[in-house]
Chains A and B, each alone.
Chain A
Amino acid sequence: MADTGTLSFKVSPVSPLAPDGRYLARKFYGRFMAGMITVAALVGVSVLWLILGYVIVRGAPAINLDFFTQRPLPYGEVGGGIAPSITGTLLILVVAAVIGVPVGLGCGIYLAEYGRGTIVEVIRFCSDLVAGLPSIVVGVFVWALLVRQVVGNFSGLAGAVSLSIIMIPIIVRTVEAVLLLVPYTLREAALALGVPKWRMVISVVLPSARAGIITGLVLSVARAGGETAPLLLTTLGNQFFSWNLLEPVGAIPIQLYNYAVAPYPDWHTKAWGAAFVLISVIGILSTLARVATRGNNR
Chain B
Amino acid sequence: MMTRNADNETSQPGAWEVEGSPNFARSGGVGADDVFKWLVYIAAFAVPTVLVALFILLVIDSWEALSRFGLGFVTSSNWDNVKEQFGTLPYIYGTVVTSLLALLIATPVGVGAAIFVTEYAPRPLRVPVSFTIELLAAIPSIIFGLWGFFALTPLMRSTVEPFMKSVVGPLPVVGSLFQGPSVGKDLFTGGVILSIMILPTIVSISREVLLAVPTMQREGMLALGATRWEAIREAVIPYARVGIAGAAILGLARALGETMAVTMVIGNSSRKITGSLLTPGYTMASAIANQFTEADNPLYFSAIVGVAALLLVVSAIVNVAARLMIWQISRGGAKGGNRG
Contact = CB atoms under 8 A, between A and B. Distances in A.
A186 to B, nearest CB: 11
Contacts, number: 277
For B3, B33, B111, B227, which residue has the most chain A Cβ atoms within 10 angstroms?
Answer: B227
A219 B102 CA distance: 26
A260 B304 CA distance: 25
For B111, B229, B305, which residue has the most chain A Cβ atoms within 10 angstroms?
Answer: B229
B147 A110 contact: no
A134 B285 contact: yes
Contacts of A78: none
B61 A144 contact: yes
Contact of A37 (B47, B115, B150): B115
A44 B203 CA distance: 9
A132 B225 contact: no
A29 B138 CA distance: 36
B9 interface: yes
A17 B43 contact: no
B6 A193 contact: yes
B40 A37 contact: no
Interface string A101-131: 0111111011101110000001100111110
B147 A137 contact: no
A126 B43 CA distance: 13
Contacts of A30: 227-230
A157 interface: no
A68 interface: no
A49 to B, nearest CB: 8
Interface stretch (B240-248, B253-261, B330-338): B253-261
B167 interface: no
B196 A47 contact: yes
Nearest to A190: B6
Contacts of A196: 23-24, 26-27, 32-33
A141 B227 contact: no
Contacts of B154: none
Contacts of B51: 126, 129-130
A136 B146 CA distance: 18
A48 B6 CA distance: 49
B23 A48 contact: no
Chain A interface residue bracket vs B: 35 or more
Given A140-B292, A282-B138, A260 B146 contact: yes
B57 A145 contact: yes
Nearest to A229: B259
Given A54-B151, A228-B141, A229-B260, A194 B23 contact: yes
B315 interface: yes
A51 interface: yes
B33 A130 contact: no
A40 B259 contact: no
A172 B308 CA distance: 25
Contacts of A195: 7, 23
Contact of A275 (B9, B112, B143, B228): B143
A103 B285 CA distance: 28
For A30, A49, A222, which residue has the most chain B Cβ atoms within 10 angstroms?
Answer: A30
A51 B42 CA distance: 42
Contacts of A137: 54, 58, 257, 308, 311-312, 315
Given A137-B257, A194-B23, A227-B141, 10 more contacts: A110-B44, A133-B312, A137-B312, A137-B315, A165-B50, A168-B46, A193-B7, A229-B285, A233-B292, A253-B142
7 contacts: A40-B112, A44-B109, A128-B323, A225-B140, A226-B139, A260-B150, A286-B138
Interface of B: 3, 6-7, 9-10, 20, 23-24, 26-27, 32-33, 35-37, 39-48, 50-51, 54, 57-58, 61, 108-113, 115-117, 119-121, 129, 132-133, 135-136, 138-147, 149-151, 196, 199, 203, 225, 227-230, 232, 253, 256-260, 264, 285, 288-289, 292, 301, 304-305, 308, 311-312, 315-316, 319-320, 323
